[in-house]
Structure formats: structure tokens, C-alpha cells
Structure 1
Amino acid sequence: MAREQGHKIVAQNKKARHDYHIDDTFEAGLVLVGTEVKSLRQGRASLVDGFAEVDRGEAWLLGVHIPEYSQGTWTNHSARRKRKLLLHRSEIDKIERKTSEKGYTLVPLSLYFKDGRAKVEIALARGKKAYDKRQTIATRTAEREKQQALGRHLKGMSD
């Protein structure tokens, strides 16, 4: 059988970019059991309540929901179990230093397959305040309106 190539996104956490200022991102491998991989290949996962932490020198992914595999037997996994992240020691040390600072947290941004291997993109992030969220929305709306006005101008339509 030919080896898988490419990048297949399984789940994205769009709310994370809205709720947090993203400072740094890391790509980490995941330690999974067979039924979790099969469930992910069906495109079933949710990162909404997920977060990561460093515990005794190891990085862990918690709160990520990978539903049970429908054809699984008694060997099926639990949906919200703790999953180990595969990172280099220097990356774990950097993450541990940053998360010990006040206000930093580790959130998953996306879960995907890269060349047949399950990967998760995690980010060091700081929470946004309510006024930051409103400002982000206002900036995005203004940019969209500007692009629409430019498009109308180029097509010769009047405002």
C-alpha cells in the first residue's frame, strides 16, 4: 500500500484565535490508540474545550473529544482521555517556562494528518479581554467593507 502524502485537516479550533492572542505555535505528534486513529480518519474530533499542559517534563493534551469508533469492540478508547504530546525537550522547556508566567495558556489550534501521521498544532496564548475581541471584530469588518468598496469601484459601480 502506498504511503499517504499531504495534509488532511480533521478539526480546527476557530474560537481559539478569537479568544486568545497567539504568541507562538508548535507542531506536536500525538500518542493514540488504534480506534482513535480510525475515528480521526473519519473526520470526527472536537477541539473546543481542549487545552494542553506540561506535567513532570511531559506535554499532555486534555479535553479534546475524539468520539468512540463505531466499529470498535471492547478495545475502544474513552472519548476525552489524556493524550501525550510528542515534542522535543527544548520545546517542552520553552513551553513550561512561558506557561509558568501569568496569563499564558496552551491551546490546540488544529488537528490534522501530515504524511499519514496524526499531528496537533498547539499555541502559547494569552487570553483577550472583551474590548480586545470587539476591536478585532471592528477591524475585520472595516477591512471587509474596504475590500468590497474597492471591488465595486473597479467594476465601475457607484456607491
Structure 2
Amino acid sequence: MPKGEGKLIAQNRKARHDYTVVDTMEAGIVLQGTEIKSIRNGRINLKDGFARIRNGEAYLLNVHISPYEQGNIFNHDPLRTRKLLLHKKQIAKLIAETKNTGITIIPLKVYIRNGYAKVLIGLAKGKKQYDKREDLKRKEINREIDRTLKNKLR
């Protein structure tokens, strides 16, 4: 997270497994009434989420925010499209980067900072199956090395 770290609410763990994250940036989210209460309760799922740029504005799609339990008839649609709050220069950068083939915008983390919900979005490139296997092997080797070093120090 950027310098003024907030309270981590949700993390997209599968993202770093399925994608190679090239760059990250923080964005605000435009929320409706009870959505912020659901987010504060941790009732958000980033797994299938992604972002798109339409008409010079960034939107977050397929992010599931569960309806608030104590909400009334004014509860929100869980899968609605939400606008992301970014500067024009940031949006221009995202447009330029996503023109490259294979680059997509995915949400990595959602956190609360200074009372506002923020999302850390990443420019990501999809991994091939053999890249995923290679990463898993590398992690396993590093775990084994750490384990043997820890046992030798005792």
C-alpha cells in the first residue's frame, strides 16, 4: 500500500498467481449508501473483478459487495458497476498501457484510509500455465531453503 497505510479489508490473492503485476496505483471508489458499511464489515469479494476505461472514466466491474444486513429497501445491487476516482493523467496512463495486448486492470486490495474506501489497482499481464508452475516451484524451493537454514541455526 502507499505511504499512508490504512486498514486492509480485502485482498485479491489469486491476482498475483494468475497475473504478473507491472504497475499499481490507488483509486477511490464511488459508493452508494450501505456499500461502505458492507465494506467495513469485510463483505467484499475481488476475485473476478476488473476495471475498464469508458468515455474517459474508469469503472470497476464484477466486484461483489454483499448487501448490508441491517439495510432496508435502499440496499444496493451487489454486482453493480462502480466508478473509480482517478486523475486525468492516471486515466491517460491506463488507456496508453491497456492498448498493449494482454494488459488488463485488476483490483489487488481494498482498504479504508482516512475514512474513505480505496482500491489498489494493478496493470497486469496474464501468465501462461508454465509460468504459474515455475513460480510455484520457485516458492517451494525458497521455502525448503528457509526451512533448512532455520533448522541449522537451532
TM-score range, shorter chain: over 0.9
Provide the C-alpha distance between the structure 1 equivalents of 2:144 and 2:21, rounded to a whole number of angstroms. 25
Partner of 2:108: 109
Q: CA RMSD in A?
A: 1.1
2:110 is aligned with 1:120: no
Provide the C-alpha distance between the structure 2 equivalents of 1:115 and 1:147, rounded to a whole number of angstroms. 38
The correspondence of residues 67-106 of structure 1 with structure 2, limited to 5 A, is 67-106=66-105
Aligned length in residues: 151
1:12-55 CA-to-partner distances (Å, cap 9, x unmatched) read 10000000000000100000012000111111100011000100
Q: For the pair shown, which has the larger CA radius of gyration, 1 or 2?
A: 1
The correspondence of residues 1-159 of structure 1 with structure 2, limited to 5 A, is 7-155=6-154
1:60-97 CA-to-partner distances (Å, cap 9, x unmatched) read 00000000111111111000000000011111000011
Cα gap change, 1:75 to 1:11, in 2 (>3 Å): same
Report how far residue 7 of structure 1 moved. Answer: 1.4
TM-score when normalising by structure 2: 0.95
Provide the C-alpha distance between the structure 1 equivalents of 2:55 and 2:119, rounded to a whole number of angstroms. 21
TM-score when normalising by structure 1: 0.93
| Structure 2 portions without partners, runs of 5+ | none
- Percent same amino acid among aligned pairs? 50
The DSSP-based 3-state class of the residue aligned with 1:126 is strand
